Amino acid sequence: GVQNSQRFRIVRRFNYYSSDMDPRELPRPHKKYPSLELPSPVEERSLCMPQNGCHCHNCKELVELTECPICTGGYQRGVTACDHCGNVMCWSCAAKMPSCPFCRRPRPPARNTALERIFNKLQLPCNPSRLDSKKQSSLTMTEHVCLAKKDCPWTGELGSLAGHLEADHDISVLVGSGITIEIGGFRSKVRASDKRGRQYTVSLACYASIFVLNISLLKKKMRLLFTGASSHPTQRFGAWLEVDSSYRTMKGIMPVSTQRHKQKELFISCDGLLSPWRSNDDVVRMNITIRPLS
């Protein structure tokens, strides 16, 4: 029943002598085809649309031409055109501007009813459907790389990244936005870092994202490396850090990049965390909290 109503509506749209014809348009005669083959009915012909696999120049450019160049919206509320430069814009944008935004003439654009009749006859997808299709294509085409090692050849979706980290790299992904790391015997480990380095790796899952923090002790320096993979590529995140020892407390905010092949590093001098008046081992605590940046 739905298909029949749609077909009936399309047939009436192409019938120039129907009763619902625009009275401002002159009736046009039927076309005469010189060939012996009669044209197929409208309902049997495949419409020239991008959804049907058409990649002609008109289908590619028509959607962009029917968008307002100022607000990138449609012309559902009306079309206005400048009588000097000929540029068009939607009725809502023209009502907010005292002059033409293209040629800067003080006269506001006038309504163009001819373009309105043309746009009303076109079969165009609405803006929400175009935006949803772009979002779905971007989400399905996004592939994430391994956050543990650069030379790891793994690529896949965000949902399978946690399983890869646990199965192939023995990294347990903890659900939460904060974690506290304690490094015992810090003074002894700093002394041994000249010959042998140490490495600690933790992973957090929060805000529909997965973050990996790599802490390494080498040459009396502590390096913090943050990597992340998110389902929201435009969202920015930051790590609130608090490094606490018996001698000093350091606080700061470090940005965390969720884009591919972009990593943020932070170097902290280990001598600044050790007391010069004590020789016993110390415990260093690191409080890390992931938060979205506004």
CATH code of 257's domain? 2.60.210.10
- Window from 26-40, 55-69, 106-120, 196-210 with minimum mean pLDDT: 26-40
Q: Give the E-state strand segments of the chain in sequence order.
A: 79-81, 88-90, 110-111, 144-145, 155-156, 173-175, 178-183, 198-206, 209-218, 221-230, 236-244, 249-256, 264-269, 284-293
The mean predicted confidence, pLDDT, of the chain is 73
Whether the predicted pLDDT of 258 surpasses 60: yes
Do 160 and 288 belong together in one domain? yes
Is residue 226 included in any domain, yes or no? Answer: yes
Is residue 129 included in any domain, yes or no? Answer: no
Helix (H) or strand (E) holding 91: helix 91-96
Do 7 and 147 belong together in one domain? no
pLDDT for 150 equals 81
Do 147 and 289 belong together in one domain? yes
Could you give the CA distance from residue 101 to residue 44 in angstroms, rounded to a whole number? 45
Do 151 and 279 belong together in one domain? yes
Structure token pair of residue 173: 């992904």
Is residue 29 included in any domain, yes or no? Answer: no
Q: Which residues of 103-141 are buried (b: 16+ CB within 10 A; e: fewer)?
A: eeeeeebeebeebbeebeeeeeeeeeeeeeeeeeeeeee
Do 288 and 158 belong together in one domain? yes
Whether the predicted pLDDT of 294 surpasses 80: no
Please give the model's pTM, rounded to 2 decimal places. Answer: 0.51
* 3 state SS for 250-284: EEEEEEECCCCCCCEEEEEEHHHHCCCCCCCCCCE
Is residue 28 included in any domain, yes or no? Answer: no
Which residues contact residue 251 at a Cβ distance below 8 angstroms, ignoring those fewer than 6 apart? 241, 242, 243
Is residue 128 included in any domain, yes or no? Answer: no
Do 14 and 152 belong together in one domain? no
Do 286 and 147 belong together in one domain? yes
Higher pLDDT, 51 or 10: 51
The number of folded domains in the chain is 2
At 142-158, the pLDDT tens digits run 678 888 888 888 888 88
pLDDT for 287 equals 92
- Window from 70-74, 129-133, 140-144, 169-173 with minimum mean pLDDT: 129-133
Whether the predicted pLDDT of 55 surpasses 60: yes
Containing domain of residue 1, as a range? Answer: 1-23+39-45
Is residue 266 included in any domain, yes or no? Answer: yes
Q: In residues, how long is the chain?
A: 294
Asked whether 270 and 222 are in contact (CB, 8 A), the reply is yes
pLDDT for 18 equals 41
Is residue 222 included in any domain, yes or no? Answer: yes
Do 151 and 12 belong together in one domain? no
Percent of the residues in the chain that have a pLDDT greater than 70, as a whole number: 67
Helix (H) or strand (E) holding 124: none
